[in-house]
């Protein structure tokens, strides 16, 4: 092959695959049914709170929008009379 084999530097190609290890210790341990029920209950409570917060924010936004619209229409009406 010659003195320039295997290619190095710019022309070196990365390996096509990496060897996988059998160490799967990074995986989570399975949850017990009680832990799963507790997790689901917690998620349900958090989701309900998030929905309430979102609805409150939407109501506040639209109330402010209507107030600003009424103020703008009043200003435009006052400017039209003048």
Domain ranges of the chain: 36-82
Give the separation between CA 38 and CA 62, rounded to whole angstroms. 36
**Lowest-confidence range among 18-22, 68-72, 75-79?**
18-22
Please give the share of the chain, as a percent, with pLDDT higher than 70: 68
| Threshold 0.85, pTM exceeds | no
What rounded mean pLDDT belongs to the chain? 84
More confident residue, 74 or 1: 74
Q: Report whether 7 contacts 13 (CB < 8 A).
A: yes
Q: Report whether 47 contacts 39 (CB < 8 A).
A: no
Alpha helices in the chain (DSSP H): 33-81
**Lowest-confidence range among 29-33, 39-43, 55-59, 70-74?**
29-33
pLDDT-derived band at 7 (thresholds 50, 70, 90) equals low
């Amino acid at each position: 092959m010659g003195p320039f084999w295997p290619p190095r530097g710019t022309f070196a190609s990365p390996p096509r695959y990496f060897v996988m290890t059998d160490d799967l210790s990074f995986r989570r341990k399975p949850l017990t049914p009680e832990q799963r029920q507790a997790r689901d209950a917690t998620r349900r409570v958090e989701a309900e709170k998030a929905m309430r917060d979102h609805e409150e924010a939407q109501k506040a936004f639209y109330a402010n929008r209507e107030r600003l619209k009424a103020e703008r229409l009043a200003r435009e009406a006052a400017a039209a009379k003048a």
